[in-house]
Amino acid sequence: MQRPVIRARIEEAGYSGRPVLRNVFFEVRQGEVLLITGRSGCGKTTLLRSVLGIINILGGYARGYVELLGRALSDFSPGEMASLISYIPQEPWLGIIGHTVKADYCHALSVAGKRCVIERLSRYGLGGLGDQVTYGLSAGQYQRLLWAEGMDKGSVLLVLDEPLAYSDKGFRYVARKIVKEFVERGGAAIIVDHDPRFWSDMAADELRLCPIPRPLSVRRPRQGSGEVAVEVRDAWFRYPGGEWVVKGASLTVRRGELLLVSGPNGAGKSTLLKLMAGVLRPSRGSVSVSGKPIIVPENPLTYFTHPTVREEILGNEDIAERFGITPLLDKPLAQLSSGERRRAAIASAITRGHDIIIVDEPTAGLDPWSCASVLNALVNAVEEGHTVIVAAHDERVAEVATRVCVVERGAVSCG
């Protein structure tokens, strides 16, 4: 029998004295994968933070013990841990400390005692991006960079928190193959994911922290009217000092449409959305908007103005009910999970009377129930006359979109 790589018993963990989870025990041996599932906000990320011993940095606490390779985790130096464990956080931009792709990659390997070979980045779809500043990367590219670092430093344990939430379909399969090779070589992996079926060929054990309600059915809304809500004409855009990100994009979005903007990581989807919202102005060409737009970005925290959900949605309890955020109304936004923040932001946008709602990755990291409730809310918004524009890799969004536009290398083609 293979030896355990990690053994953990978390008696209690939570924040500000409020427990989030209790009595969780697991063991992962060499060549094994443990999948952690459960509804958004039920403590999956808290569990990973407790296991890694980083929950206290975020004002939380954890009681229990964690053993890595038969020794208490607290006996390891940070350098040893950095070498043995690879961690991809749910919000991938938080795992990056280098100002360029190359600096970050080489630093991650350096602290693990390895030398970097920059050419290896091409395996992760980051070839030629070594000198790219990291603050210009998309969320999917952040995830790819963390994958590259995690795999190339030769760890024995992967701790992955929604590691594919922002990744395009092509990379999802690449990543699954990488994990499979990793565990076949004797590594162990703990993966938080809402889609256990995706990892089914690895015979992973499943640890369900809390039940997920059966998702509601989601219907596709009616087609939009003829009236133009957003018109992009031959728009070009590049960030200062960078290359062209959007190249001659043209598209028309009609009122009452639910438009999905898809495409590979780093293709320019988020930039196109920001141009349509008016957050960015095109370097060339034009964007005209007829209505009151709003954008909920990939990191929804930058959307919020107020400290609680109740204030952010102007006390509208009806919309809170529709979005399943009633229990969160008086909880500080800082304590919400990524998925909860996203739902709260979309609810706020609708409450505040915006008729063109632009959302970047609305379903990233959401369990099937939360995903269906967000999609239903977006469908309802469309049927009430709003225009919804969404950038997503999630195939569940494609099922409700009235039209799909694909962005590839900055160019747009619409179906």
Partner 1 sequence: MIGALVSLIYRSLFLRGTSGAKAAHFLTKLAYVSAFVTAAYLRGDSIYIAAATAALIALADSGLDWVGPAVILSSIPATWYALTAYLLSLAGVPPTVTPADAAIIFARVLAYSLTIMFIIYSIDPVSISNALHALGARKASSAPLLIWRVMPYGLSTMMESLAIGELKGEGASKRIAPAIAAIIEHGRGIEASAYLRLAAPMVHRLPRRVNSFFTALLLLSAAALILWVLP
User: Should residue 212 be labelled a site residue for partner 1 when binding is judged by CB under 8 A?
Assistant: no
Question: Is the CB of 17 or the CB of 240 nearer to partner 1?
Answer: 240
Distance CA 12, CA 64 (A): 7
Candidates 180-188, 302-310, 364-372, 394-402: pick the segment binding partner 1 (CB under 8 A): 302-310
Provide the pairing of β-strand 4-15 with 60-68: antiparallel
Window 219-278: residues binding partner 1 (CB under 8 A)? 240-241, 277-278
| Residue 357 Cα distances to 131, 223, 341, angstroms | 34, 16, 16
Please list every residue from 350 through 389 that binds partner 1, using CB under 8 A. 352, 354
Q: How far is CA 281 from the centre of its chain?
A: 26
Q: Which is nearer to partner 1, 158 or 400 (CB)?
A: 158
- Is residue 169 a contact point for partner 1 (CB under 8 A)? no
Q: At what angle do helices 169-184 and 139-152 cross, to 10 degrees?
A: 20
Nearer to partner 1, 41 or 221 (CB): 41
Total of residues contacting partner 1 (CB under 8 A): 63
Write out the DSSP string of 337-391. Answer: -HHHHHHHHHHHHHHTT-SEEEEESTTTT--HHHHHHHHHHHHHHHHTT-EEEEE
Binding mask 102-121 for partner 1 (x = CB under 8 A): xxx-xxxxxxxxxxx-x---
Cα radius of gyration (the chain): 22
Examine residue 140 and tell whether it contacts partner 1 (CB under 8 A). no
Give the Cα separation of 349 and 294 in Å (integer).
7
The CB-of-415 to partner 1 minimum distance in angstroms stands at 28
Q: Of 76-84, 184-192, 202-210, 213-221, which part binds partner 1 (CB under 8 A)?
A: 76-84
Find how far residue 360's CA is from the centre of its chain. Answer: 10
**Contact positions vs partner 1 (CB under 8 A):** 49, 52, 54-55, 57-58, 77-79, 81-83, 85, 87, 89, 91, 93-100, 102-104, 106-116, 118, 131-135, 240-241, 277-279, 293-295, 297, 299, 301-306, 334, 352, 354
